[in-house]
Structure 1
């Protein structure tokens, strides 16, 4: 028993630490990050060897990796203000809608799966998360300063609700990968806290999810060996967890709509020292 707990504690702590380091590395070096994700497509033979089969699994992997590559091109193009038709393509405002849309579809996909699994409360929470994503391009940007961050002005509350909703989803859909999912979601949740920038949540989520997707595709059995959490599953807990998520997001929904209605969103969503805040303050 003690050995089992120690195994989970060590493997999850190490994986969490690795993910934090990967996010930091890829955040600070956007060119390196993009090269890594482009090259990651060449690992597809390992996907096959790792047990990836069926069009859905392949589509799932590519639907994560390809947008991550596009995010990389956007970061480089905007940060370095590159010229030319190719780079100019990634500097248009509509590309922010594309990034927004990928997040929306990612949540919607899991929401539909929750419905199929019968966790209707968690599915409702997922739908409301879609509704409360800050609009693009108003609350999204590719920063031209610092390290070229992808900035999305989600709130601390939204970040937390997304995390608990997603954990509940994985708990029911893939309980054997629940422990590793805790690591990737906590890394994305805590990285913005470490940096004191909640607007980095989406970028942290992009890189932790892409990292996990590649590692799971190439070395799937490793996660089962080190962090198999299938024995943790409890259907009653799963259902009540979904209900709790729905209860939590309802007041957040009203708060979110009130911020938009009163025009306070420009101040509550965006930090006072940010570029966008100063821009809106002059409007």
Structure 2
């Protein structure tokens, strides 16, 4: 009997994976992205005008052969597809519902935009992988952007970047994000340079608390923005993420938040929904979450990968704003998409909360519980 039940479960899992693959491939088909190779001229244009990488000797010396030799893009799409159906069921459910409801449609203009986004993903996946495995190379890339930003009036340092980013962008969320990421990158590089590490020391305990607090601050920024934008489902998902965040962080050699895959998957779908509704320059914002270096990362490594690409892409976005560069496209029905997506994320968030509380974990103190009931359960 046990053997039969195990076989049934395996067959159900295979069926679900098959359905997920079909949904993802249907989505790819909408934008005609299969069977493409990289276009070196398009890569050059993106490096110059979208990513501001073209003047970086660091980037060009490392990747010029890869970037300027045509490469098949199907392997990248295979990795994106595998990450979605293996780790991100909420995203797949959203795609299925959105396609079924006619909220995602085929057209030639969308296919051209998707082609550019796919090339951007190709570039950022390569650079992010390099950053993840070589923090000194990553530090050099951060250093490359400081003078580039400075020319546009965006200063280095937490407080100065806050003030000057707001002056450039006119958006407090963007300014707060740039400043908080400035703090994260400074702490990250300081920790990576430090060779003497004593697990369990007072310094270690302080660092762990600080890393968790910085991540929660990052989540709260978007959670409040969602609430004020009348996206209560996604806002609730963000709130639950702060309640179920890692209790332990390893910062010896890498910054690893020991989150479960359920938590990382919720963070991913929550953030995708948020940027769809609230941020400009989605041709840059989507790749930061779609690239395999981030989307396919395990629960332990997910936040490390995402923080690295987020630091780069928010610098890029503020540079675009400073250049008065318009967004490449606008999603006309984003409110409907985000309403649908937010409710799906709310469902997965409540499931995560139930799982964590079933383990006996205290996810909320009395104050957070009171806020949760009054704001989200009313």
SS of match in other structure, 2:312: helix
Number of the residue aligned with 1:237 = 337
Cα separation, 2, equivalents of 1:66 and 1:38: 14
Instruction: Judge which range, 65-74 or 47-56, deviates more.
Output: 47-56
Cα separation, 2, equivalents of 1:103 and 1:94: 14
Cα separation, 2, equivalents of 1:200 and 1:237: 29
The residue correspondences of 1:201-220 to structure 2 (distance < 5 A) are 201-220=302-321
In the superposition, relative to structure 1, how do residues 9 and 258 fare at CA in structure 2: closer, same or farther (>3 Å)? same
The residue correspondences of 1:42-61 to structure 2 (distance < 5 A) are 42-48=147-153, 52-54=168-170, 56=172, 57-61=174-178
Question: What is the deviation of 1:128?
Answer: 0.3
Contact kept in structure 1, 2:117 and 2:284, CA below 8 Å: yes
Cα separation, 2, equivalents of 1:70 and 1:173: 27
Residues 139-185 of structure 1, C-alpha deviations (whole Å, 9 max, x = no match)? 21123xxxx221111122211111111121122212x4334322111
Cα separation, 1, equivalents of 2:324 and 2:111: 17
Cα separation, 2, equivalents of 1:223 and 1:36: 22
Question: What is the deviation of 1:63?
Answer: 1.6
The residue correspondences of 1:1-283 to structure 2 (distance < 5 A) are 3-48=108-153, 52-54=168-170, 56=172, 57-77=174-194, 80-81=195-196, 92-135=204-247, 139-143=248-252, 148-174=253-279, 176-187=280-291, 190-191=292-293, 197-220=298-321, 224=326, 227-228=328-329, 230-261=330-361
Cα separation, 2, equivalents of 1:200 and 1:110: 21
Cα separation, 2, equivalents of 1:240 and 1:198: 25
- The structure with the larger Rg is 2
Residues 116-147 of structure 1, C-alpha deviations (whole Å, 9 max, x = no match)? 11111211111001111111xxx21123xxxx
Per the normalisation by structure 1, the TM-score is 0.74
Gaps of 5+ in 2: 1-105, 155-164, 363-378
In the superposition, relative to structure 1, how do residues 43 and 63 fare at CA in structure 2: closer, same or farther (>3 Å)? farther
Contact kept in structure 1, 2:237 and 2:345, CA below 8 Å: yes
Gaps of 5+ in 1: 84-88, 263-283
**CA RMSD, 1 decimal:** 3.1
Per the normalisation by structure 2, the TM-score is 0.57
Question: What is the deviation of 1:95?
Answer: 1.6
What is the number of residues matched between the two proteins? 242
- Whose relative contact order is higher, 1 or 2, with alpha carbons under 8 Å and at least 6 apart? 1
Contact kept in structure 1, 2:294 and 2:306, CA below 8 Å: no
Cα separation, 2, equivalents of 1:202 and 1:172: 22
Question: What is the deviation of 1:213?
Answer: 0.9
